[in-house]
Amino acid sequence: MKDNYRWLAPVYTPLSRMVFGNQLHEAKTCFLSNIPNKKVLILGGGDGWDYRGFQENLTGKFVELSPSMLSKAEKNLKDSKLDFVPATVGMGPFDFKEQYDVILLPFVLDTFTDQDLELFFSKVKDSLNYGGEVILADFFPSQNWRQEVMIKTIISGFRMVAGHVRQDLPDYEYFFKSIGMQKVEEKIWKKGWIKAQIWR
């Protein structure tokens, strides 16, 4: 399988920290105190670096499209109890066959078309145990022109380098509400441009 993220894998985390400081890391991990003793599914977790400080409490599955990223994640999270699973292009990696207490979606939903998201969210609903939660961390609509320029640059860059199909951000809350989930907690950065949310 072609690895569109092969060139990004060595620089992804350093580049992210250079541009956003610690804010993306904080968004991905701010709710992980909820994780101990729960079975988790991490979708699109990249190189896994953000979860190193929590790895002893991580049990479940780590799914990543890029073999290069997945290899790094296995090394970064070697003390976790995660199974590392390579994804396939399209909806294949999200054909969930297990039940989870928590599903983590760290800056991954903007790689889907709206059509794919409809199918994806129906599978999310079926894959959560009773009382299960989804933890979303992602970019939301820009709050000023600088953020608008930056998000367009980011989206264009990922379209060019990694073959992403979207040209905008999804309406996340629409899709969560479409499967009957409710937002129970939220934290924001950069006046709401970056958010972390818990949906139950």
Domains parsed from the chain with CATH numbers: 12-199 (3.40.50.150)
Residue 60, SS3? strand
- Are 134 and 199 in contact by the 8 Å Cβ rule? The answer is yes
- Tell me, what's the pLDDT at 93? 46
- Tell me, what's the pLDDT at 148? 75
Over the range 90-107, which residues count as b (16 or more CB within 10 Å of their CB) and which as e?
eeebbebeeebbbbbbbb
Query: In the structure encoding, which two tokens stand for residue 42, read together?
Result: 């991490």
Query: In the structure encoding, which two tokens stand for residue 123, read together?
Result: 């599978």
Q: Which carries the bigger pLDDT value, residue 167 or residue 8?
A: 167
- Tell me, what's the pLDDT at 66? 81
Query: In the structure encoding, which two tokens stand for residue 49, read together?
Result: 């670096």
pLDDT band at 176 (very low <50, low <70, confident <90, very high): very high
Q: What digits encode the pLDDT tens for the residues 6-35?
A: 545 445 566 666 667 788 999 999 999 878
Q: What digits encode the pLDDT tens for the residues 99-126?
A: 999 999 998 888 788 888 888 898 888 8
DSSP letters for 117-130: HHHHHHHHHHHEEE
For residue 52, pLDDT beyond 90: yes
Q: How far apart are the first and last CA of the chain?
A: 35
* Sequence-ordered alpha helix ranges (H) in 43-113: 67-76
